[in-house]
């Protein structure tokens, strides 16, 4: 397995191939809970620093990186609506939570010397750029990490859908969805001990079997545009780099023509 870290000691010539990324431009989808660590809420500084260092490692490989972060560690719109709030108002609050998380990850990444830009779908010029597609693409071309906050800017759409939308607009090669489990299972592995990890799926299979990959809107958009996803466990250090380098990590969701055959 190719586990060389991009920022460790100098790499011998015979291992340079190990550091070649499989993808040129990626969308990393992080849940808000990923920033909370073991606390389950808020922002945990050591966890934030670890994620930033993993981002630093793939940035050092020359990969152009876009990020979408959820806001569930601060406020979840669906939970607010379930408690009796107006759904649109609750969703807007959730969008603001994603901007808070975006600023947190921006700060952590910039402490490592990497230029970033936070781009918000809701105008708030004092802290983030407004979303302009060509400007965002240019930031990626200049080697900046681009963090998209405030979801799509519209209620009733999840940050999964925002990730799928922005990934397509940015012409990303893949969406990397970081989760708490090793990939997509036939059932919830925390509830069903017989749940089996699936290594390869098509978008249509994930939709028809109602597997917990992304919400149906996001998954349908990826299927329509033939955009592959890789679902993996963020809890294993180095997994982001492993996926970027093409290692067999997690679950790959793709169109049939993109799904690796048994002979590969």
Cα–Cα distances (Å) from 71 to 20, 36, 43, 58, in that order, read 33, 10, 10, 24
pTM: 0.88
- DSSP 8-state symbol, 35: G
The residue to which tokens 């990959």 are assigned: 213
- The H or E element containing residue 53 is helix 45-59
**What is the full per-residue pLDDT of the chain (264 aa) written as tens digits?**
444 444 444 444 444 445 689 999 999 999 999 999 887 789 999 999 999 999 999 999 999 999 999 999 998 777 777 788 899 999 999 999 999 999 999 999 999 999 999 999 999 999 999 999 999 999 999 999 999 999 999 999 999 999 999 999 999 999 999 998 899 999 888 888 889 999 999 999 999 999 988 999 999 999 999 999 999 999 999 999 999 999 999 999 998 865 554 444
Q: Classify strands 197-198 and 129-130 as parallel, antiparallel or unpaired.
A: unpaired
Topology, domain 17-180+234-248: Carbamate kinase (3.40.1160)
Nearest to 121, CA basis, from 133, 111, 104: 133
């Amino acid at each position: 397995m190719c586990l060389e870290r991009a920022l460790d000691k100098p790499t011998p010539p015979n291992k340079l191939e190990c550091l070649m990324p499989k993808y040129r431009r990626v969308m990393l989808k992080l849940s808000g809970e990923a920033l909370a660590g073991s606390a389950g809420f808020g922002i945990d500084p050591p966890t934030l620093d670890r994620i930033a260092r993993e981002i630093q490692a793939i940035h050092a490989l020359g990969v152009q990186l876009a990020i979408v972060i959820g806001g569930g560690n601060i406020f979840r719109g669906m939970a607010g609506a379930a408690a009796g709030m107006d759904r649109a108002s609750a969703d807007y609050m959730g969008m603001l939570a994603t901007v808070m998380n975006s600023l947190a990850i921006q700060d952590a990444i910039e402490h490592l010397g990497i230029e970033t830009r936070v781009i918000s779908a809701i105008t708030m010029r004092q802290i983030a750029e407004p979303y302009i597609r060509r400007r965002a693409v240019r930031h990626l071309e200049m080697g900046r990490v681009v963090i998209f906050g405030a979801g799509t800017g519209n209620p009733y759409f999840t940050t999964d859908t925002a990730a799928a939308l922005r990934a397509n607009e940015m012409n990303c090669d893949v969406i990397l969805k970081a989760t708490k489990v090793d990939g997509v299972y036939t059932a919830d592995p925390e509830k069903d001990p017989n749940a089996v990890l699936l290594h390869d799926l098509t978008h249509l299979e994930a939709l028809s079997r109602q597997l917990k990959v992304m919400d149906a809107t996001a998954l349908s958009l990826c299927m329509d545009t033939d955009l592959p996803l890789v679902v993996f466990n963020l809890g294993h250090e180095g997994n982001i780099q492993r996926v970027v380098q093409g290692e067999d990590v997690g679950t790959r969701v793709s169109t049939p023509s993109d799904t690796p055959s048994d002979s590969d």
